[in-house]
Every structure is written in structure tokens, then in C-alpha cells.
Amino acid sequence: MSIEQAVHCEVVGQGPALVLLHGWGVNSAVWQPIIAPLSEHFCLYLVDLPGFGESKPLAHYSLQSISEAIQEVVPESAVWCGWSLGGLIATYTAINYPQQVTQLIQVASSVKFVADEQWEGVDGCVFDNFLQGLQTNPQKTLARFIALQAMGCKSARQDSNKLKKLLSGTQDAEQSALIAGLNLLAGSDLRSSFSSLSQPCLSMFGQSDGLVPLQTATEMSILLPDLQVQLFEHSSHAPFISESELFCNKIVNFIAG
């Protein structure tokens, strides 16, 4: 079943509602390896973020406008699970629309992606370089970003090829959405509001992640002492690809409480 509005959403399975939000530069096709096992337990809402996959772009991009567009096509009360940029959007929604999000799952995500003197993260120039690359050679830039998702773990080549295969034949992202997404990753800081999160939260990290350093887990646990942390020892930025069985088990156990 598809929900045809500005935001495209595939609905699969039966059970408690679980919203899945993908990361930058890709679309909901990346979740294919975990759809079958998770749909045995949950009704999955596979969202294409605005301007990605089958979703139409927005006139104006902000965490608020993206969140509100997604809320139009998902249940009023659901578990939200977001990967990377999707995790940032899910976290924003849990904080600002608490009635929407019963439990929050962050996958290789952060409340602040760019490093500063008090916070571990990536150098801001990483996002600047991707922005420049989008202007000159968007296809090459996206391919480089896909490769970066898996870089560092033992199955890097296999995982990167799997991601490319999942995305082949799917709709290219809109340039406006790509640029807006990078700007949100580079400029968002949810640290102070994350401390007030009231819902149960599970944050998953890859041991070899080059975009979200492991120190982030410690820093986010300081902000939110009740945070549940799961480390994937054989993953980098895409644990649902590298360790899909463990990933699904952790989600099922967390939601079951």
C-alpha cells in the first residue's frame, strides 16, 4: 500500500507502527534488507524524505517543515527510527511533537554532526566539500558518499555494493533537497533540547563509523542519562546493512521494552 501525498510512504506488515526514515542522498529502498524480519512484528512506514525517492520537494526546508510533512502520512502515535539525517529529523520530532513519537531509535545519528571544541563530530569542511561536489558532479559526489557509508568495516566493499544495488533504478534526489539536507546536517544542534527528551530512546553506533565518532555515544549519554546505547562492532555508518540480524533483534527487544 502507498500513501500518495507530498511525502511518499510505503506501508508494510502488521502490528505496532514503526516509522523508518532514511539518511542523506538515498531513499527508503535502503531498508529492504530488514523489511521482511521487521514486518513480522510491526506495521512499517517506509518514508521517502521530501525531495528524495518518490517524494516531492518542499518549497522551504527546515527540520520543522520536513517533520510536519512526514507527520501527514504516518500515524499520530508511532515509534520513529531514523538513520543519520533521518535520525536528526526523528529526534527533532520526538522533542517538539512528543505525542507523535512513543519511542525514538537513532541509527548512526547525532544531535550535532559537526565537531567543535566541546563536541566530537566530523570537520565542517566535509559537508562543504560535498556541497561543492554537488554543484560540479552530483552523480560522482553521491557515489562517493555511498562508499563512505561502509568505509572502515571488514565488509565495506560488499556493503557498499549492496547499497548501490538497492538504490539502482530508484529516483534521483532533487538538488534542492540534497543541498538542504547537507545544510541541516552541518548547522543543526539539538543538544540542549535532547536533554529534555521524555520518551525511551535507543541510539545505535557503528564501531568504524567515519561520520559519527564513537565518542558521540558517551557525549549523548551525558546529555540524556537514560539513553540506551547499542554498539555494532562490525559496522561503520550502516549497521542495518552490515549486521542486519542483530539490528532487527535490538529493535524488536527495545520496542517490546
**Average pLDDT, consecutive stretches of 10 residues, N- to C-terminus, the chain (257 residues):** 70 97 97 98 98 95 97 97 98 98 98 93 90 91 88 90 92 94 96 97 96 94 98 96 97 95
Is 189 in the active site? no
Please give the annotated binding residues for substrate, written as ranges: 24, 84-85, 145-149, 237
Show the cell assigned to 36. Answer: 521482511
Of 74, 64, 65, the C-alpha closest to 1 is: 74
Joined together, the cell numbers standing for residue 170 give 530508484
Angstrom distance (rounded) from CA 215 to CA 122: 11
Helical pair 124-136 and 175-187, crossing angle rounded to 10 deg: 170
* C-alpha span between 104 and 220 (Å, rounded): 14
18: which DSSP letter? E
pLDDT for position 90: 98
Residues linked to residue 18 through DSSP beta bridges, in sequence order:
44, 79
C-alpha cell at 109: 545519528
Residue with cell 502490528: 15
pLDDT the model gives residue 147? 86
Look up 2 and say whether it is catalytic: no
User: Which overall architecture, per CATH, does domain 2-256 show?
Assistant: 3-Layer(aba) Sandwich (3.40)
The strand pair at 101-107 and 201-206 is best described as: parallel
Q: Which residue numbers belong to the known binding site?
A: 24, 84-85, 145-149, 237
**Among 209, 235, 236, 242, the one annotated catalytic:** 209
Kindly name the residue from 84, 160, 235, 242 that is annotated as catalytic.
Answer: 84
Those residues whose C-beta lies under 8 Å from the C-beta of residue 75, and which sit 6 or more positions away, are 17, 45
Active site (annotated) includes residue 84: yes
Which pLDDT score, from 0 to 100, does residue 181 have? 96
